[in-house]
Amino acid sequence: MSTTPDTKLRELLNDFGVSMLVTRTPGGELRGRPMALAEAQPDGTLWFATDRHSAKVDELERDGHVAVTMQSKTTFVSLSGTASVVDDRAKLAQLWKVEWKVWFPGGKDDPNVVLLRVDGTRGEYWDNSGTSGLKYLIEAGKALVTGSRPDVGEDPKVHAKVSL
């Protein structure tokens, strides 16, 4: 049974621990920052923890549209959606990771720690792992030697745009 592009995207989201969250500043510029991914749910919802007094919270209150990008050596994901600040102590306790104490020394009971919920609406991925990655390396090698562009085709397992 083959994997559909939307299923593949959701699977890939679980492969990442860190992502880049892109918001819009009050001046209209785009701003990205690394964020530890707390959870990726099967429906494409992503959860992060942050300080309620951070600039990103102010930015999201003005404009909730975000982009989230993730990258490994062979896999790339881009997700567009909307983000909201969630002050849910039970959900925070459920998602809490001990390594977050680096950023939140007061722990999960610190009243300044809140969650960011990103509801993905569209996503894209490029998966150059496995045989797809081998094909890409061969084509990239040919292109390098010949001075041409690699012929990687339109394989949906390599690149897919998905509505969530």
Where along the chain do its domains lie? 5-127
Split at pLDDT 50, 70, 90, the class of 134 is: very low
148's CB contacts (< 8 A; 6+ apart) are: 142
CATH hierarchy code of domain 5-127: 2.30.110.10
Of 121, 151, 134, nearest to 9 by C-alpha is 121
Q: What is the pTM of this model?
A: 0.79
Confidence bin at 162 (pLDDT 50/70/90):
low
Least confident of 30-34, 88-92, 157-161: 157-161
The pLDDT, as a whole number, for residue 84 is 97
Most confident of 7-16, 19-28, 125-134, 151-160: 19-28
Dist. CA 144–CA 127, nearest whole Å? 21
Is-contact 52 87, C-beta < 8 A? yes
- For a pLDDT cut of 70, what percent of the chain falls above it? 79
